[in-house]
Amino acid sequence: MKLPIVASPDTVAYLYNALPQCVILANGGRSWCDERFVNVYGAWRPGESPYVDFSDAFAYREFLQVEKLTCSSVANIGDISEFVRSCVHAGTYLDIMIDDYYLRGLEGTRVHDVLVYGVDDDTQELAVVGFDQNNMFGSFVVSVRAFEAAFLRAVKYLNGGVSNPRITHQMQMLAPRERKPAIDPGPKPLLAQLESYLKSNSNEVDGLDRTGWWWWIDAVVDQTEALVTGLQVHEAIIQHLDLVLSSRTSGATKLDYRSLHVLHEQKVAITKRLERAAVLPDADLSQALLTAASAYREIASSYKDLRLRALEYHYTGNSSVLTPLPPAMLRSVELERATLTVLLDAR
Tell me the domains of the chain and their CATH numbers.
Answer: 35-63+184-345 (no CATH), 68-176 (3.90.70.30)
pLDDT tens digits, 259-304: 889 999 999 999 999 998 888 776 678 899 999 999 999 999 888 8
d(CA 34, CA 238): 27
**Do 340 and 331 touch, CB atoms closer than 8 A?**
no
Helix (H) or strand (E) holding 194: helix 188-199
d(CA 54, CA 311): 20
- Please state the pTM of the whole predicted model: 0.90
Strands 137-143 and 226-229: unpaired
Nearest to 346 by CA among 140, 228, 191: 191
- The pLDDT of residue 223 is 59
Q: Per-residue b/e over 168-185, b at no fewer than 16 CB within 10 Å?
A: bbbbbbbbbeeeeeeeee
Q: How many CB atoms lie within 10 A of CB 222?
A: 9
Dihedrals φ, ψ of 309, to 5°? -70, -35
Show the CA angle centred on residue 55, arms to residues 279 and 74, nearest 5°: 110
Nearest to 75 by CA among 162, 172, 161, 152: 152
- The pLDDT of residue 40 is 92
- The pLDDT of residue 250 is 44
Task: Check residue 317 and give left, alpha or beta (phi > 0: left; psi -120 to 50: alpha).
Answer: left
Helix (H) or strand (E) holding 205: none
d(CA 242, CA 162): 38
Helix (H) or strand (E) holding 250: none
What string of pLDDT tens digits covers the 347 residues of the chain? 999 999 989 889 899 999 999 999 999 998 899 888 899 998 887 767 788 999 888 889 999 999 999 999 998 998 999 999 999 999 999 999 999 999 988 888 889 999 999 999 999 999 999 998 888 899 999 999 999 999 999 998 888 755 555 788 999 999 999 887 777 767 888 999 999 999 886 655 555 666 667 888 876 556 566 788 899 898 888 888 877 776 644 445 577 888 889 999 999 999 999 998 888 776 678 899 999 999 999 999 888 888 888 888 878 877 778 777 777 778 889 999 999 999 999 88
End-to-end CA distance of the chain, in Å? 47
CA atoms within 13 A on the CB side of 123: 10
